[in-house]
Chains A and B, each alone.
Chain A
Amino acid sequence: MNLWEYVRNRQELLWFETYQHASMVVQCLLLATAIGLIIAVITYRSKTASAVATGIASVLFTIPSFALFGLLIPAFGLGTTPSVIALVLYALLPIVRNSVVGMSNVDPALVDAARGMGMSRLRVLFKVELPLAWPVILTGIRVSAQLIMGVAAIAAYVSGPGLGDQIFSGLARLGGANAVNSALAGTVLIILLALVFDACFVLIGRLTTSRGIRG
Chain B
Amino acid sequence: MTVAPDTEVAAQPSAAVKAKPRRTWYLIGTPLLIVCALVADWLYVRSTHPDANARTTLQTSYMLSKLLEHLELTVVAGVFVLLIAIPLGILLSRKGMRLATPVVLALANIGQGAPAIGIIVLLAVLWKTGFEVAVVALIIYAVLPSLRNTMVGLQQIDPSLKEAGRGIGMSAAAVLFKVELPLAVPVILAGVRTTLVLLIGVAALSSLIGAGGLGEMISTGVQLQRYNVLVTGSVLVACLALFVDWLAGLAERYLRPKGIKA
> What is the interface of chain A, defined by CB distance below 8 A to chain B?
51, 54-55, 58-59, 61-71, 73-74, 93-94, 97-98, 101-102, 135-136, 139-140, 142-143, 146-147, 149-154, 157-158, 164, 167-168, 170-171, 174-175, 179-180, 183-184, 186-187, 190-191, 193-195, 197-198
Contact = CB atoms under 8 A, between A and B. Distances in A.
A67 B115 contact: no
Given A51-B21, A67-B238, A153 B1 contact: no
A177 B62 CA distance: 35
Contact of A183 (B125, B231, B234): B125
A183 B122 contact: yes
A157 B221 CA distance: 13
Nearest to A150: B115
Given A58-B17, A73-B230, A154-B117, A194 B112 contact: yes
Given A64-B200, A98-B9, A101-B9, A143 B1 contact: yes
- Grouping DSSP codes into helix (H, G, I), strand (E, B) and loop, the B interface class, with mixed when no group exceeds half, is helix
Nearest to B214: A67
Contacts of B200: 64
Given A68-B234, A150-B116, A74 B227 contact: yes
A206 B156 CA distance: 26
Given A74-B230, A153-B117, A180 B17 contact: no
Contacts, number: 182
A174 B125 contact: yes
B35 interface: no
Interface in B10-62: 10, 13-14, 16-18, 20-22, 29-30, 33
Given A143-B1, A170-B121, A136 B6 contact: yes
B114 A187 contact: yes
Contacts of A139: 1, 6-7, 9-10
A84 B18 CA distance: 26
Q: Looking at B110, B115, B233, which has the most chain A CB atoms within 10 Å of its CB?
A: B115
Interface string B236-262: 011001100100000000000000000
B115 A164 contact: yes
A63 B236 CA distance: 10
B7 A195 contact: no
B101 interface: no
Contacts of B176: none
A136 B113 contact: no
A164 B13 CA distance: 25
Nearest to B9: A101
Interface size class of B (residues with CB under 8 A): 35 or more
B201 A64 contact: yes
Given A59-B242, A73-B222, A191 B13 contact: no
B124 A174 contact: yes
Contacts of B112: 146-147, 150, 194
Given A54-B20, A191-B110, A198-B1, 10 more contacts: A62-B242, A64-B202, A64-B238, A66-B237, A71-B234, A74-B231, A94-B10, A152-B115, A194-B110, A194-B112
A68 B233 CA distance: 11
Contact of B1 (A65, A135, A142, A151): A142
Q: Closest 10 CB pairs between A and B?
A: A194-B113, A64-B201, A187-B118, A70-B234, A153-B115, A67-B237, A150-B115, A67-B234, A74-B227, A66-B204
25 contacts: A51-B21, A51-B22, A58-B17, A70-B233, A70-B237, A71-B231, A71-B234, A71-B238, A101-B9, A139-B1, A140-B9, A140-B10, A153-B117, A154-B115, A167-B117, A171-B121, A171-B208, A183-B125, A187-B121, A190-B115, A190-B118, A194-B114, A195-B113, A197-B113, A198-B113
